[in-house]
Amino acid sequence: MATAALADSHAEHHYTSTGLSSPKIAIWAFIGSECFFFASLISTYLIYKGRSVVGPFPHTPWTNPATGEQFHAILNIPVTSASTFVLLMSSLAMVLAHSAVVRGDTKYSKIWLGMTALLGATFLGFQAFEFTSFVHEGLTIKTNLFGSTFFVLTGFHGAHVTVGVLWLLSLLGVDMKRGLGPRDAINVDICALYWHFVDVVWIAIFTLVYLIQ
């Protein structure tokens, strides 16, 4: 009887011989591979750091010798600090959403899933503002080595956040349609793991790109 129930449970949740669910093993393996992906982008940024021949530069002002045009240090630490705080709070909202789904509390699962998606979208808004202001100030992906490595690194991170927001919105859609309950906890957990990983990558980027000169 117990074995039959266990077998049913396994069939439903795709448990492996380790007793752990396949989707969860898959997402951790995926996150492990993402470590390599972001490490390669971060190492490229760090290798080329300080090797740009022309400005604008991230932390120091620059005057174009040909035109006499002046550029200030391009990184805006207060704005990025605010966006970092927003992303950290989105992780808190995500764990609360997962907790609500585990409890079967559909009211709060909707609120926290919506809040996480909203905070993620706010972070993307900050990034769009930053990219736009950089372009207006004369820094594009082809201006110098800093521009190339910076836009590729933060752009790929932003793409990951975008995927996360879409994932969250799809979960919110399901929650609104039929309600997410304890049976769906594993699906929300997988989305949460992806979201927190995006958060920890930003923790590294914020320090290595924005704060360390």
Partner 1 sequence: MAGQSDSQTMYDSHGEAHALEHAHPDWATYKWVAIILTVITALEVWVYYTPLKETRLFVPTLLAMSVAKFAIVVMFYMHLKYDAKLFRGLFVGPLIIAIIVLVSLLFLFGHLALHV
**Distance from C-alpha of 201 to C-alpha of 42, rounded to nearest angstrom:** 10
Q: Does 18 bind partner 1 (CB under 8 A)?
A: yes
Which CB atom, from 108 or from 135, has the smaller least distance to partner 1?
108
Measured at the CA of 88, the angle between CA 85 and CA 93, to 5 degrees, comes to 120
Question: Using a CB cutoff of 8 Å and minimum separation of 24, what contacts does 108-111 make?
Answer: 109/175, 109/180, 109/188, 110/172, 110/175, 110/176
Does position 3 interact with partner 1 (CB under 8 A)? The reply is: yes
Q: Is 89 in the site for partner 1 (CB under 8 A)?
A: yes
CB of residue 139 to partner 1, shortest distance in Å: 20
User: Any idea of the CA torsion for 134, 138, 143, 145, to the nearest 10 degrees?
Assistant: -50
Summarize as ranges the residues that interact with partner 1 (CB under 8 A): 2-3, 6, 15, 18-21, 24-25, 28-29, 31-33, 35-36, 38-40, 42-43, 46-47, 49-50, 77-78, 81, 84-85, 88-89, 91-92, 94-96, 98-99, 102, 185, 192-193, 196-197, 199-200, 203-204, 206-208, 211-213
